[in-house]
Amino acid sequence: MNKSELVDAIAENSGLSKADSGKALDALIKSVGDALKNNDQVTIVGFGTFLVRKRAARTGRNPQTGAEIQIAAANVPAFKPGKALKDTVN
């Protein structure tokens, strides 16, 4: 399912127009992104938790030359599914 199909599904399930559903989805994505940028986590009970994990610096290899390279530490977004979502999938 891509974004436009998700907007259509939200509109169908909520009774909102497609335009309003698109705005709501965009607002959700922006709000979650802003919270993660501030190192906050976003928990939606029954769905899951969006959080930031810290990836340590490490040594890697250039696959073409075999030379070692240093990969910098990074913050990466992560999602931990909730029980209700896991039950829905299984």
Its pTM surpasses 0.75: yes
pLDDT in tens, 2-41: 999 999 999 999 999 999 999 999 999 999 999 999 999 9
Predicted confidence at residue 25, as pLDDT, reads 96
Q: Is 6 within 8 Å of 25 (Cβ atoms)?
A: yes
36 vs 84: CA distance, rounded Å = 23
Token pair, residue 76, equals 């990466």
